[in-house]
Amino acid sequence: MGYYANGSGFATLKRDADITELKDKLDALDVRFDWNIDKDSVDFYESDKYYEDETIEFLDTLAPYVAEGEANYIGEDGCIWRFRFDPDEQEWVEETATIDYNFESYTDEQMIEELDRRSYLVQKKPQSN
């Protein structure tokens, strides 16, 4: 018995990406992905059973050719996650989703860290008495 999940994603390829080489590498993989390269981008998806090792192998094969991209997943139990391509590190980063209806549950440090991650300049006002 395996874990069932559906995932789909896209990646914008670098301007100098060797598309023929990329196609050959993707064809050589033994993974359960359907993919299509159209000019400067690649769309891909997988459904049914989720095999994390195959997903990582597919994304790692894409990484040297990618300028930006993401892949979104939803599991049979409603779990949601994604892989986002980090162009600075040239790698895919896995992120999990959390629904939170109340900002009060975050510490100041957590809020500042999240806003900083999103490139906001954060400054805390001094509290007045």
**pLDDT(1) > 80:** no
What pLDDT, on a 0 to 100 scale, did the predictor assign at position 2? 66
Q: Per this entry, what is the length of the chain?
A: 129
What pLDDT, on a 0 to 100 scale, did the predictor assign at position 118? 85
The answer to whether residues 5 and 50 touch, using CB atoms and an 8 Å cutoff, is yes
The answer to whether residues 92 and 86 touch, using CB atoms and an 8 Å cutoff, is yes
Cα–Cα distance, 27 to 43 (Å, whole number):
14
Dihedral, 56, 62, 66, 71 alpha carbons, nearest 10: -40
Cα–Cα distance, 43 to 62 (Å, whole number):
11
**Mean pLDDT across 91-116:** 83
What pLDDT, on a 0 to 100 scale, did the predictor assign at position 115? 85
pLDDT tier for residue 60 given thresholds of 50, 70 and 90: very high
Question: Which amino acid is it at 55?
Answer: T
pTM of the entire structure? Answer: 0.76
Q: Which domains does the chain have, with CATH numbers?
A: 5-99 (3.30.70)
Nearest to 8 by CA among 94, 72, 80: 72
**Mean pLDDT across 85-96:** 95
pLDDT tier for residue 129 given thresholds of 50, 70 and 90: low
